[in-house]
Structure 1
């Protein structure tokens, strides 16, 4: 074989390689990152604004936009990552920083540099094994490191991909008259979206730090003794801090998504139940859900 033929073959192989790369490579996909994650805890203030599952070059991808920062630590120099975690696997993916001038007013927070906390990522799901994953944020900011879940799941199975908000789970409590602490709370919004109800509000026990409290939505069936309890996703509420002039109430926010199936066609009054060690408190709102 002549040198010219060998050179031609090499050039053709290189050309085919380039064509294949262009046909299959997802440009802008988030790069993986390796570290040992800390335990999840209430340190990150975060939100997911938009999730879009789509196909690029015959590959399933997820475009995620949101914001995240470590509470009380300026976000200017932080590095943020999206985390996908299952019972036996985890993927840590670098997030791209996005300027968010709307956040200081929206979060009532002008001291943490939250305008620099916007994030987005394009996740190439072809690099992720089949399974069900919880979505979270991992943040490095100087010596501060924090990891928290955000109430979303990514499910990949048999070539299909879905990303959705988690439905909150029922928990086992018995409603009685043993509430020991004064409670301040409010159910701010209740909306029905498809086959779920979305609830948002805040609540805290007087004299108890909200960071150490567990907040539950409690539903009492009208004209019946049936009572249901659901866990919630915490939210940091700087506006509640400003109103009560008390930093201990900043983790008082909550949101919950409840499946319509759990209500079994009945109507329920909505309450807030809070536990902090041996202290408990309950609040009943004027709101209701169900038929």
Structure 2
């Protein structure tokens, strides 16, 4: 019986399997071509993870409509806060706009620059809404030591060639509410409209989320506190602002800027004695 050499057997196997191998070869070729074409873009995105955003000293306008935006990722990393998303002003060329990330605390507002990203998915979704919206993507890495530790509301500011627009999102970097020592007035249910949408204990804090405004007043000029009262004592805590477009629409005419009437409080475990 004639014995085939290993080389002859290998060639026979390749000949018998030429169609699948051709397909696999085409897939591998396409993959390597993708790496060659996009290696610069991928390297650019990854290299920016080492870059930190710089705080910008600019005057922000009042919050307005007219902006399309999305926050795809808000992540607190060991050394930075990562914000990834897209934003553009309707009717304007996105290539001529600059996007800034805004973090708002109870006492200050922090503005940071961002790095542009190409977003073909946005161009596909908003075809005709504005020019070059595939240039509306952005990512930024805000140094943790540049802002307070917690209790920050995220906003987006787009500076366009013709118009500039600021909008705050409903994304909050979780913090802890501090107990406040204030003199409370007598309860008056005639001028205060409010609701508590969520009360969730767990993970070392109790989360209280809702909205409230004084009839006829400007919600942006108001400060919302949460009051917990027992038979023995009364506890007052500060809150973090949250954007509530639904309240602005539902109570149109009852006050000004009611989209700013939302709040969330993170009451730490142990701040209220057990049994109260």
The Cα shift of 1:150 comes to 8.6
SS in 2 for 1:239: helix
1:175-214 to 2 correspondence within 5 Å?
175-177=184-186, 179=188, 182-214=191-223
Q: Show structure 2 runs of 5+ residues with no match.
A: 1-44, 123-132
Moved more, 34-43 or 190-199: 34-43
The TM-score, its normalising length taken from structure 1, stands at 0.51
Describe the SS at the equivalent of 2:147: strand
Does structure 1 conserve the Cα–Cα contact (< 8 Å) formed by 2:207 and 2:265?
yes
Cα separation, 1, equivalents of 2:85 and 2:180: 29
| Counterpart pick for 1:63 among 82, 98, 103 | 82
Question: Does the alignment pair 1:81 with 2:88?
Answer: no
1:79-118 matches, cutoff 5 A: 79-82=98-101, 92-94=112-114, 96=116
SS in 1 for 2:113: strand
Between the aligned partners of 1:64 and 1:203, the Cα distance in structure 2 is 29
**Residues 257-276 of structure 1 mapped to structure 2, 5 A cutoff:** 257-267=266-276
How many residue pairs get aligned? The number is 203
- Structure with greater strand percent: 1
Residues 110-189 of structure 1 mapped to structure 2, 5 A cutoff = 121=139, 123=141, 128=143, 131=145, 133-134=147-148, 137=155, 139-142=157-160, 143-144=163-164, 165-177=174-186, 179=188, 182-189=191-198
Partner SS, residue 240 of structure 1? helix
Residue 245 (str. 1) matches residue 218 (str. 2) = no
- For 1:75 and 1:266, the matched residues in 2 are separated by 57
SS for the counterpart of 2:271 is helix
Q: CA deviation at 1:66?
A: 6.3
CA-to-aligned-CA distance 1:162-196 (integer Å, 9 cap, x gap): xx622122222123427495111100001123101
Q: Which residue in the other structure is 1:104 paired with?
A: none
Distance 2:91 2:205 in 1: 34
Mapped to 2, the partners of 1:40 and 1:170 lie a distance apart of 32
Alignment of 1:53 onto 2:77: yes
Distance 2:224 2:83 in 1: 27
Match of 1:27 among 47, 66, 70: 47
Match of 2:57 among 15, 29, 36: 36
Q: Quote the offset at 1:94 in angstroms.
A: 0.4
Q: CA RMSD in A?
A: 4.7
Cα displacement (A) at 1:31: 6.2
Q: CA deviation at 1:62?
A: 4.7
- CA distance in 2 between counterparts of 1:51 and 1:144 reads 26
**Structure whose CA Rg is larger:** 2
**Which ranges of structure 1 fall in alignment gaps of 5 or more residues?**
1-24, 55-59, 101-114, 153-163, 268-291
Higher helix share: 2
CA distance in 2: counterparts of 1:40 and 1:193, whole angstroms:
38
Whether the 8 Å CA contact 2:84–2:139 is kept in 1: the answer is: yes
The 8 Å contact of residues 84 and 140 in structure 2, kept in 1 or not, is answered as no
